[in-house]
Chains A and B, each alone.
Chain A
Amino acid sequence: DIQMTQSPSSVSASVGDRVTLTCRASQSVGSSLNWYQQKAGKAPILLIYGISTLQTGVPARFSGSGSGTDFTLTITGLQPEDFATYFCQQTYSTPITFGQGTRLEIK
């Protein structure tokens, strides 16, 4: 199984900040890397797929990058609604696996 490791596990930031979240795979996942946002009590929503493509309706302040085993999600100009937990996911091979999540909190 491909293990996905996210760092940090939690981060505090202020509205307007730029924050970068990291996801590392235990082996190459090609371009099969997605990011999801989850707010308390809600289902996850898809933010970015294929490393860097924004899902329809996702604000442009979200961006994704990386290759092979190392990936990042960057939020530029944090908004109050961005404080949530973020998960990376690989769909390169079965079983599909998720990172453990990064909780983004308000400073």
Chain B
Amino acid sequence: QVQLVESGGGVVQPGRSLRLSCAASGFSFSNYVMHWVRQAPGKGLEWVAVVSTDGNNKYYADSVSGRFTISRDNSKNTLSLQMNSLRFDDTAFYYCVRVSYSGTSKMDYWGQGTLVTVSS
């Protein structure tokens, strides 16, 4: 079965860095576009970044562009999010998400999320 397991969350001071990972299993990881989506506690969902199947094309939300870097290692079935210059408003649950296409794109599998807390 499809599994996405995030790790790497924790408490970090403003301005510092953190790297999230997502271990994928149960499907052919290299065939799927992958995203990060975040959710501040008690708030709505915010798309963060997307990476193409080969890792060569990446897009970011304006709120993280220039600070976050999405990447993938298809040989290890792993998705990553390098987060630099963290701010208080980056505090959120971060979800690793698989996208599939059935006439339109859909986020059909989500990880359980990992909590990033930016606090001094």
Contacts and interface: CB of A to CB of B under 8 A. Distances in A.
Given A49-B102, A55-B106, A94 B50 contact: yes
Given A49-B102, A53-B102, A55-B108, A95 B45 contact: no
Interface string A27-63: 0001110101000001111100110010100000000
Among B62, B104, B111, chain A packs the most CB atoms within 10 A around the CB of: B104
Interface residues of A, number: 25
B47 A96 contact: yes
Contacts of A46: 106-108
Contact of A44 (B35, B62, B110): B110
Interface of B (DSSP majority class): strand
Residue in B45, B50, B61, B112 with the greatest tally of chain A CB atoms within 10 Å: B45
Contacts, number: 61
A101 interface: yes
Grouping DSSP codes into helix (H, G, I), strand (E, B) and loop, the A interface class, with mixed when no group exceeds half, is loop
B105 interface: yes
Interface of B: 35, 44-47, 50, 59, 61-62, 95, 102-108, 110-113
